[in-house]
A and B are shown apart, each in its own frame.
Chain A
Amino acid sequence: GGIITQTPKFLIGQEGQKLTLKCQQNFNHDTMYWYRQDSGKGLRLIYYSITENDLQKGDLSEGYDASREKKSSFSLTVTSAQKNEMAVFLCASSIVTGKISDYTFGSGTRLLVI
């Protein structure tokens, strides 16, 4: 079986800092995603990528950059961390069959900004 690995598991940053989160998958899935999970707000899509070097914005892309360097990796950059921000960032991948796909999620990066 495959696995999605997110690094780091925990990230503490300072206000205004640029922070990068990384995600690797070995499923050979075409599409990868970044979601943000806030307490009480469910998961919201930040960016996704359907192939290497492709980037598509989700609902929450403002304040973030993303990069799909190769098929197996997808990174997310918080361009300027906001003070007291606390959220979990989840990476996922899928083989897309039309609009119906099986998604696999990583275990997340927990961000705290002080």
Chain B
Amino acid sequence: SQLAEENLWALSVHEGESVTVNCSYKTSITALQWYRQKSGEGPAQLILIRSNEREKRNGRLRATLDTSSQSSSLSITATRCEDTAVYFCATPLYYAQGLTFGLGTRVSVFP
């Protein structure tokens, strides 16, 4: 089973609205990363949040991390059509280099 997983398969919003994607993970972590993957592209890192951080921002993006509940969220404010993508959370593998990814949440932003 996945060591990190997003809680919803798909979300849709209208442009200008905010959207939040949630993620839960199963092991203790040093950091958690959020990625976005647009159709036909590879994943692109959005935010890396370390285990000693509770919140991290990057422009319209805000990630939170709650190590006690082993959960994280990614919020996007003032969404745009180009935010349409699959959003993944990922955590380091404990037995190797590399990441374990959740299954992803598909976010669709409509005009």
Residues of chain A whose beta carbon lies under 8 Å from any beta carbon of chain B = 4, 31, 33, 40-43, 45, 48, 50, 56, 58, 90, 92, 94, 96, 98-108
Complex Cα–Cα for A43 and B88 (A)? 10
With both chains docked as a complex, state the minimum distance between the C-beta of A2 and any C-beta of chain B, in angstroms. 13
Residues of the A chain whose Cβ atoms lie less than 8 Å from the Cβ of B33? 103
Can you list the 9 inter-chain pairs with the closest CB atoms, starting with the nearest? Answer: A105-B42, A99-B92, A43-B101, A42-B101, A42-B103, A100-B31, A45-B98, A99-B30, A107-B42
B interface, by DSSP: helix, strand, loop or mixed? loop
A contact residues around B97 at 8 Å (CB): 31, 33, 48, 50, 56, 94, 96, 99, 101
Output the least CB separation between B103 and chain A (Å): 5
Interface residues of B in 42-71 (CB under 8 A from A): 42-45, 48, 50
In angstroms, how far is the closest chain B Cβ from the Cβ of A51? 11
Q: Do B98 and A105 touch across chains, with their CB atoms under 8 A apart?
A: no
